Amino acid sequence: MNPEPRRITTDVAIVGTGLAGFAAAVFCLDRGIAAVQLGHAGALTYTTGYFDLLGYDRGRSIDDPWRALADLGATWPGHPLARLPRSTIEQAFRRFAEAIGDLGIAYVPPGATNVRALLPTGLAKTTSSIPRTMAAGAAALAEKKRTVIVDFIGLVGFSAKEFVTNFAADWPGLSSAHIGFPDLDGGAEAYPEVMARALEVRATRERLAARIRAVVGDADCVGLPAVLGVHAPDRVHAAMEELVGVPIFEIPTMPPAVPGLRLRELLEQAMPARGLRLVSQHKATRVDLRPDRIDFGYRDNFGEVVIEARTAILATGRFLSGGLVAERSGLRETLIGLPVEQPAGRGDWHRDDCFDVRGHPINRSGVVVDDDFRPLDHDGVPVHPGLFAAGAILAGQDWVRQRCGAGLAIATAWRAVDGVARMSGR
Amino acid sequence: MNFDADVLVIGGGVTGCGILRDLALRGIRGILIDRGDLNSGASGGNHGLLHSGGRYASSDTETAAECRIEGEILKRTAPQAIDACGGLFVAVEGDDEGFIARFAARCAAAGIDCAPLAVDEVRRSEPAISERAIAAYAVPDATVDPFRLTIEQVADARRLADSLFLPHTEVTGFDIDGGRIRAARCRDTRSGEARIIRARQYVNAAGAWSMAVARLAGCDDVRVLWSKGTLVIANTRLTRRVVNRLRTPGDGDILVPGGTVSLLGTTSDTVADLDVIRPTPEEVDRNIEEGSVLIPALAHTRFIRAFAGVRPLLLPTGGDGDGRKASRGFTLFDHVAQGLGNFATIAGGKLTTFRLMAERTGDLVAARLGNREPCRTATEPLPALERSSWTEPGHSARTWFAAKNPADSILCECEMVPKSTVDAVLEMAPGAEPQMPLRAIGVRSRIGKGTCQGSFCAIRVTSHLYDRGTYGGREGLGLMRDFLAERYKGTRPVLWGPQMPQAELAETLHCGLLGLDLIDARGQDGEPR
Ligand SMILES: Cc1cc2nc3c(=O)[nH]c(=O)nc-3n(C[C@H](O)[C@H](O)[C@H](O)COP(=O)(O)OP(=O)(O)OC[C@H]3O[C@@H](n4cnc5c(N)ncnc54)[C@H](O)[C@@H]3O)c2cc1C
Ligand SMILES: Cc1cc2nc3c(=O)[nH]c(=O)nc-3n(C[C@H](O)[C@H](O)[C@H](O)COP(=O)(O)OP(=O)(O)OC[C@H]3O[C@@H](n4cnc5c(N)ncnc54)[C@H](O)[C@@H]3O)c2cc1C
C-alpha cells in the first residue's frame, strides 16, 4: 500500500508514556527541545496517585527522604537516585508537580519530611507528595479528626468498614457509612471510572452530596474511594467540599482505578497542545542506531513510520509495561537488546517469601547507565552517544519496596534531558 | 475448648477423611483434626491420577492390582469426583525396548485391561503426542479431584454420625497411662491455645508426619521415607487422556488432564525436612525437559503454577533410601508390641488406595470398640453434595447465571465466583468457622485458582469479608497476606513470559497499594529485620 515509510525528524524521541516519559516530555518542552513521544498504556494506569520519593528502607519507614537519599549511596551503590544531587531531584520533582498542577491535578509539593498517606486497607504508607484530592486524608490521620469513610453499594474491592476496622486502634474518631451512588445503586457492580465521569456533571454531584450530608453526622471530614472526576478532579473535589460542607478526601482503590487513568488521560490530552508530538497507543517495533541519529520504527493503520531522532530517551518501564521481558533462560531488554544486569539464574530471581522486606533480586535488575544516564554495553561503553534511559527500566533500584517510583521516574528523566539538551546544543 | 469422641483421627488428608467416614458408616462418631486444613499435606499436592495400576505393573504386581480394584470401586461409589478419561502408556524412540515388550504381560498379571494401539492412530486422537512415539497402550486410568473427595467424606461423616472436623488443631502430645492413651494434647495453631481431646481410640493418619505423631505416643516402629514431588500446571488441556511415558518411572513422565488444564509431573527427591516444601524453578525445568520429549508442546506452553507434595513411602526396616523404589504399599500398625492398646497408625499407600487403607483401619478400630458393623465404603455411594461442587470449575458461574441476581457481585473474575458462593462456604462448608481464613475459603471454592492466582480476588473477597463482619481487626489483612504468600510459592517457579508482568503487577498492588509488606502475618505493623 505504502512501500516508503513516512519519516518524522526530531531532536529527541521519547519512548514510553509512563511517568518517566511524560516527565521527560515536560522537561524537553520547557527547554525548547522538539520531542516526539511514543507509547501505549502501561504501568502508569495502575498508580495510587501518590508521588513517592523515597519512603522505605527494608520495611522501615523513612521520615526524612533527603537524608535517606544522601545515605543511599552507602547502602545501595549504583542506585539511580544516589547518583543525582539533591538539587536535581528537588528541582525535577517541583517542576513536574507544578506542570501537572497547571493541567488540573494539583499536588502538595514534597516538603522536608515525608507524610503518612492512606491506603484502602486501612494502613498508612509513607510518601512524599499527595494530590490535592487526597491531601485532607493525610491531615485527618495526622490530627485524628472525626471522620466518616463512605463506600458505595456495588463497589467491589473497597470497603469502608475494612478501612475503619484496621485503622481503629490508631484513629478512634473514625466511622463508616455505606450509601448508594446516584443511578448506580441498583446493586449491580459499580465501577469507579463510571462514578468519576458521572461526578463531572453538576446534578450528580448535588445528588451525591445530599446523600453524603445525610451520613456525615458530627464528623469533621469525609473520606471516599477515589471517584472525584477524571478530567478536572480539583474542580470536582472543590465543588463537592462546598456542597457537603466539610473537607473531603479520596482514598486510592484497586484497579480499574481512577488516579492513574486521570494522570494518563490528562497528560495525553494536554501535552500535544503544548507542542509535544505524541504518538499514543503505538509501540516502537524497530530501532536503528546510526552514527549521528537513532531511528525508531512503528506501524500505524497506513503502514510504517520512522522517527529520525538526534537523541532518544528510553523510558519503557519493566515487565508490566513491556520494557523488559523474562524468558526461561534470562531477562532481556525488548527494544534495543541492551544488556540487562540480572541475577545469575532464574532460581535467584525471587526470594522464598514474597513479602521479604529485602525485596526480590529481580527488582534490582535492569539497564546499566553511566553518570549521564546513557545505557552501557557489555564493555561499559555507552551504546550510543545520543541514547539515554530513565525510569523503572534502570538497574540498581527497587521502586516498589523502596516507594520511590515517581521520584525515580521524574529525577532520572531530568538528568536524561540534561544529556539531550547538551547533545542538541540547548 | 476441649472435646470428646469415640475416635480421634489425626490428619485431614484423604486417608483421615476416609477413616472418619468409614467409622461413621459403622455408627461410630469421630473427631478429625488437622494442624492445617483439609488436604494441607500430600492430598492437596498430588497428581490426581486414579491409577489403573499400569504405572506399577512392571515393578510391583500387588500394588498394581490393588490400584486396579480400588479404582474400579471409586468409579462406582464416587463418580462425581472422577473423570474416567482413560489413559495411555506411550514410548518414544530410544526408550527401553525390553520394558516395552514386557508391559502388556505385566499388566495382565495384575488383571489390568491393557490394549495395544497403533501409534498413528494414537497420534490422530491425541495430536499433542510426539511424532517420535514408537509404542502405545490404552489402560483404564482416570483422574480424581481430591478436594471434592475429602470435603464430601467429611460432610457425609457429619451427616451420618455427627462427626466433627477441627482445622488448625495440631496434636503435640499424648497422656498415656496403663497401656492406653487417655487424652491427646493439642494446640490451636492459629490462636496458640491448648485443647484436650479425649477419645477411646486414637488413629494416626498424618501421612508424611505419621512417624513424628507415632513418636509422640512413644512408638518407634513407623518408618517413612519422605519423597518430595513437584508438579506444574499448564493453562490448557493438551490431551484428552492421561498420558504416561512407557518406561521405568522418572521425572516429568505423566501428563494428567483436569478440566481445562493439564498437570505435568513429577519429580522425586528424598528430603530431610518436611517444613520447607516448595516447588523450585529447577524442578519445574526438569519436568518440562522430560515432559516435552513425549509432549513437545510443553516446551512453550504457558504454565499457571507449580506445587509440591511429600509422598509418605514406607521403609522396610533396613531398606535403602530411593523414593521411586520404595514400596507404594501401605501398612497398618496396631502398636500392640509397643505396649499401646488404643492407638493405630496407617501409613504409606496412594490416593488411589485410600479407601482400602481406611477400611483396614476401620476394621481394627471398630473391633477394638466392640462394634461389629462391617465396612460399607466399597458399596455405599458417597453422596454428592451441592456445596462441595463449589470446588468444581464452572459450577459457581452456572448457578450465578441461573440466579440472575445483579446484586450478587462476582468477587473472583477468573473463576466467576460470586459473593453468594463465598457466603455459602462461610456458612455451611465442612470446617467452616466464624473467622475463616482466605486460604480455607480457597480450599473449598475456586477462589485463587484462575489465571490471576488470587492476586485480584483476594482483595475483593477480603473487602467483602470485612463488610460481612467476618473480621474485627487487622487479622483479616494478615490472612490475606498469608493466602497471597501461599499462592506465590506456586507461581514463583513459573515466572517467565506472560506470567512475569502479572507477578509484577501483583507485587505492586499487594505492596504499593495495600501495604501488605509492611505488616506481619497477624496484620500488625511488621518488625523489620
Ligand atoms: C499498582 C501500581 C501502583 C503504583 N503506585 C505508585 C505510588 O503509590 N507512588 C508512585 O510514586 N508510583 C506508583 N506507581 C507508578 C510508578 O511510579 C511507575 O510505574 C514507575 O515510576 C515507572 O515509571 P516509568 O515511566 O519508568 O515506567 P512505566 O510507567 O512502566 O512506563 C513505561 C512506558 O513505556 C511504554 N513502552 C514499553 N515498551 C514500549 C515500546 N516498545 N514502544 C513504545 N512504548 C513502550 C509503555 O507502554 C509505558 O507507557 C505505581 C505503579 C503501579 C503499577
Ligand atoms: C507429588 C505427588 C504426586 C502424587 N500423585 C498421586 C497420584 O497421582 N495418584 C495417587 O493415587 N497418589 C498420588 N500421590 C500419593 C498421595 O497423594 C498420597 O498417598 C495421599 O494423598 C496421602 O494421603 P494421607 O491422608 O495419608 O496424607 P496427607 O494428605 O499428607 O495428610 C496428612 C495430614 O496430617 C496433618 N498432620 C501432620 N501432623 C499433624 C499433627 N501433629 N496434628 C494434626 N495434623 C497433622 C497434615 O497437615 C496433613 O494434612 C502423590 C503424592 C505426591 C507427593
Last residue of a domain, one of A222, A253, A284: A253
In the block, cell 495502575 appears at A46
pLDDT at res. A147: 98
Q: How does B32-70 read in b/e, with b if 16+ C-beta sit within 10 Å?
A: bbbbbbbbbbbbbbbbbbbbbbbbbbbebbebbbbbbbb
Q: How far apart are CA B102 and CA B247, in angstroms?
A: 11
Same domain? A282 vs A333: yes
**What kind and span of H or E run contains A419?**
helix A405-424
Mean pLDDT of A105-114: 91
In the block, cell 484497586 appears at A254
Mean pLDDT of B89-116: 97
Mean pLDDT of B151-169: 96
Which SS3 state, helix, strand or coil, does residue A257 take? coil
* Residues whose CB falls within 8 Å of the CB of residue B482, separated by 6 or more in sequence, listed in order: B437, B438, B439, B521
**Domain of residue A226, residue span:** 121-253
Question: Where in B389-456 does DSSP place strands (E)?
Answer: 410-412, 417-418
Radius of gyration for the alpha carbons in chain B, expressed in angstroms and rounded: 23
Query: Does position B122 have pLDDT exceeding 90, yes or no?
Result: yes
Structural domain includes residue A403: yes
Long-range contacts of A3-6 (CB under 8 A, 24+ apart): A5/A297, A5/A303, A5/A304, A5/A305, A5/A306, A6/A302, A6/A303, A6/A304, A6/A305, A6/A306
B495 vs A349: CB contact, 8 Å cut-off?
yes
Confidence of residue B528 (pLDDT cuts 50, 70, 90): very low
Query: Does position A287 have pLDDT exceeding 80, yes or no?
Result: yes
pLDDT tens digits, one per residue of B227-250 = 999 999 999 999 999 999 999 999
Mean pLDDT of A138-153: 97
Structural domain includes residue A34: yes
Cα(A409) to centroid(ligand 1), Å: 8
Half-sphere exposure of A55 (CA within 13 A, CB side): 28
At residue B410, φ and ψ (nearest 5 deg) are -75, 125
pLDDT tens digits, one per residue of A319-355 = 999 999 999 999 999 999 999 999 999 999 999 999 9
Structural domain includes residue A271: yes
Q: Which amino acid is at B428?
A: M
Give me the residues of B, 283-302, that contact A with CB < 8 A: 285
CB-based pocket (< 6 A), ligand 1:
A 15-21, 38-40, 42-44, 46-48, 50-52, 283-284, 315-317, 321-323, 335, 391-392, 399, 405-406, 408-409; B 508-509, 512-513
User: Could you tell me the three cell numbers for B446?
Assistant: 475456586
The pick from B3, B35, B275 for probing ligand 2's pocket by mutation, whose C-beta has the most ligand atoms within 8 angstroms, reads: B35
Range with the lowest mean pLDDT among A237-251, B102-116, B424-438?
B424-438
Confidence of residue A143 (pLDDT cuts 50, 70, 90): very high
A187 vs B514: CB contact, 8 Å cut-off?
no
Same domain? A278 vs A408: yes
Q: Where are the alpha helices (DSSP H) in A132-175?
A: 132-143, 160-167
Query: Does position B317 have pLDDT exceeding 60, yes or no?
Result: no
Range with the lowest mean pLDDT among A332-336, B35-39, B418-422?
B418-422
pLDDT at res. B385: 80
Last residue of a domain, one of A190, A220, A253: A253
Same domain? A41 vs A125: no
* Residues whose CB falls within 8 Å of the CB of residue B192, separated by 6 or more in sequence, listed in order: none
Same domain? A76 vs A132: no
Ligand having the closest approach to the CA of B45? 2
pLDDT tens digits, one per residue of A296-309 = 999 999 999 999 99
Mean pLDDT of A111-140: 96
pLDDT at res. A2: 54
Closest residue on chain A to B276 (Cα): A352
Cα(B208) to centroid(ligand 2), Å: 7
Same domain? A272 vs A371: yes
Same domain? A235 vs A291: no
Query: Does position B518 have pLDDT exceeding 50, yes or no?
Result: yes
Q: How far apart are CA A215 and CA A176, in angstroms?
A: 9
In DSSP terms, B256 is beta-bridged to B263
Mean pLDDT of A359-375: 98
Q: A161 — contact with chain B (CB < 8 Å)?
A: yes
- Do the bridges between strand B224-234 and strand B269-270 make them parallel or antiparallel, or are there none, so unpaired? antiparallel
Mean pLDDT of B140-144: 97
A354 vs B488: CB contact, 8 Å cut-off?
yes
Which SS3 state, helix, strand or coil, does residue A191 take? coil
Confidence of residue B326 (pLDDT cuts 50, 70, 90): low
Which SS3 state, helix, strand or coil, does residue A266 take? helix
Q: How far apart are CA A280 and CA A173, in angstroms?
A: 46
Query: Cβ contacts (< 8 Å) between B410 and chain A: which residues?
Result: 156, 189
Mean pLDDT of A175-202: 95
Instruction: Give the DSSP per-residue string, A73-102.
Output: HHHSTT-GGGGS-HHHHHHHHHHHHHHHHH
Same domain? A206 vs A81: no
pLDDT at res. A103: 87
Structural domain count, chain A: 2
pLDDT at res. A3: 65
Confidence of residue B427 (pLDDT cuts 50, 70, 90): confident
CATH classification of the domain holding A139: 3.40.50
Q: How far apart are CA B204 and CA B345, in angstroms?
A: 5
pLDDT at res. B529: 40
In DSSP terms, B343 is beta-bridged to B202
Cα(B33) to centroid(ligand 2), Å: 14
Last residue of a domain, one of A253, A275, A296: A253
pLDDT at res. B150: 95
Mean pLDDT of A265-287: 95
pLDDT at res. A153: 95
Confidence of residue B143 (pLDDT cuts 50, 70, 90): very high
Q: How far apart are CA B506 and CA A313, in angstroms?
A: 27
- Residue among B524, B519, B454, B443 at smallest CA distance from B484: B454
Query: Does position A237 have pLDDT exceeding 60, yes or no?
Result: yes
Q: A102 — contact with chain B (CB < 8 Å)?
A: no
Give me the residues of A, 383-402, that contact B with CB < 8 A: 400-401
Structural domain includes residue A112: no
Query: Cβ contacts (< 8 Å) between B511 and chain A: which residues?
Result: 355, 400-401
Structural domain includes residue A111: no
How many Cβ atoms from other residues are within 10 Å of residue B314's Cβ? 19
Same domain? A299 vs A203: no
Answer for the pair A360, A391: CB distance below 8 angstroms, yes or no.
no
Q: How far apart are CA B512 and CA B522, in angstroms?
A: 19
pLDDT at res. B408: 87
Which has more confidence, B407 or B278? B278
Domains and CATH numbers, chain B: 2-42+147-223+327-369 (3.50.50.60), 82-142+225-312 (3.30.9.10), 386-518 (no CATH)
Answer for the pair B377, B359: CB distance below 8 angstroms, yes or no.
yes
- Do the bridges between strand A387-389 and strand B194-204 make them parallel or antiparallel, or are there none, so unpaired? unpaired
Same domain? A174 vs A204: yes
Query: Cβ contacts (< 8 Å) between B520 and chain A: which residues?
Result: none
Cα(A358) to centroid(ligand 1), Å: 22
Same domain? A370 vs A273: yes
- Looking at every residue in chain B, the average pLDDT score rounds to 93
Structural domain includes residue A317: yes
Confidence of residue B104 (pLDDT cuts 50, 70, 90): very high
Q: The complex's ipTM?
A: 0.96
Q: How far apart are CA B354 and CA B332, in angstroms?
A: 12
CATH classification of the domain holding A326: 3.50.50.60
Residue B170: CB within 6 Å of ligand 2? yes
pLDDT tens digits, one per residue of B42-52 = 999 999 999 99
User: Shortest Cα distance from A400 to chain B (angstroms)?
Assistant: 6
Mean pLDDT of B84-105: 97
Give me the residues of A, 290-349, that contact B with CB < 8 A: 318-320, 322, 325-328, 345-347, 349
Give CA torsion, residues A197, A199, A202, A207, to 10 deg: 140
Same domain? A64 vs A133: no
Same domain? A415 vs A318: yes
Q: B420 — contact with chain A (CB < 8 Å)?
A: no
Query: Does position B451 have pLDDT exceeding 90, yes or no?
Result: no
Answer for the pair B222, B29: CB distance below 8 angstroms, yes or no.
no
Interface test with B, best of A159, A331, A401 (most B CBs within 10 A): A159
Cα(B13) to centroid(ligand 2), Å: 6
Structural domain includes residue A115: no
Structural domain includes residue A110: no
